Amino acid sequence: MNSVRIWYKKEGLAIYTSHLDMNRCFTRAVRRAGIPLWYTEGFNPHPYLNFLLPLPLGQTGMREPLDIRTERDMAPEEIKRRLNSVLPEGIEIVDVTQAVNKVNAITCAEYIIEYSFSSADEAEGFAAGINAAVASGELNAEKRSKKGIKTVNLCDFVISFEAAGENDTVTVRTVLATGSEKNLNAGLLAETLCGVIGAQPLYTAIKRTKIYMNNMKNFE
């Protein structure tokens, strides 16, 4: 048995594929690609696929980790080539490596959030407003957890934040707590910022670009 970490990109219309459908998609892709996937033992064997940090619906991911186990060794480039030949448009394997770090080492992730407005003045005002809102240290929102819905201060989950307006677009670059201990969905942050400012952008796009461990070391 060999553990393999697959890094994939999810973009375009594929961002509207649910986590359950992503699981089905990769299960079919691995089979069609002829990769000798290892199956769990027991009464109901199933292929081992583990999405380490499931991407929320509607968000782009540039380098998302998926662990699989194979019955025998295969060259990383061969796995990459075979999977890319059968995966649907919008999902692409960007790298195949050995699993270096455990999933519980993940502590945060970097996101780019883009808002589009009808005018440059509106975008400039929004950028200034959300920078001030996060800098204030208090940005309350209702957050769903296993214990139910509770009001939390989103600033407690924001590690870094910078918003800049250019023409009619505002680009936010932020690092958010992401992992088993503390976790903030970038979508909740994006929505809360609009609510605080009272803004209604024409569209909002969220992209996860990197995943980190403690001290901002890349998760590998």
Q: Are 23 and 61 contained in the same domain?
A: yes
pLDDT of residue 189: 98
Cα gap 28→169, rounded to integer Å: 39
CA quadruple 132, 201, 140, 178: dihedral sign:
negative
Residue 2 has pLDDT above 90, yes or no: no
146 vs 78: which has the higher pLDDT: 78
Q: Which of 77, 99, 121 is the last residue of a domain?
A: 99
pTM higher than 0.75, yes or no? yes
| 8 CB burial (10 A radius; 0-12, 13-18, 19+) | buried
Same domain, yes or no: 89 and 118: no
- pLDDT (tens digit per residue) in 67-118: 999 998 899 999 999 999 999 999 999 999 999 999 999 999 999 999 999 9
Dihedral angle sign, alpha carbons of residues 156, 158, 162, 163: negative
212 and 154 within one domain: yes
End-to-end CA distance of the chain: 20
Q: Which domain holds residue 151?
A: 105-216
Does 68 share its domain with 149? no
Here the CATH number for the domain that contains residue 21 is 3.30.70.580
CA dist., res. 21 & res. 86, Å (int): 16
- CATH number assigned to the domain comprising residue 114: 3.30.70
Beta strands, E only, 117-192 = 140-145, 148-153, 158-166, 169-177
How many domains is the chain built from?
A: 2
Nearest Cα neighbor of 2 from 32, 31, 35 is 35
3-state SS, 182-220, equals: CCCCHHHHHHHHHHHHCCCCCEEEEEEEEEECHHHCECC
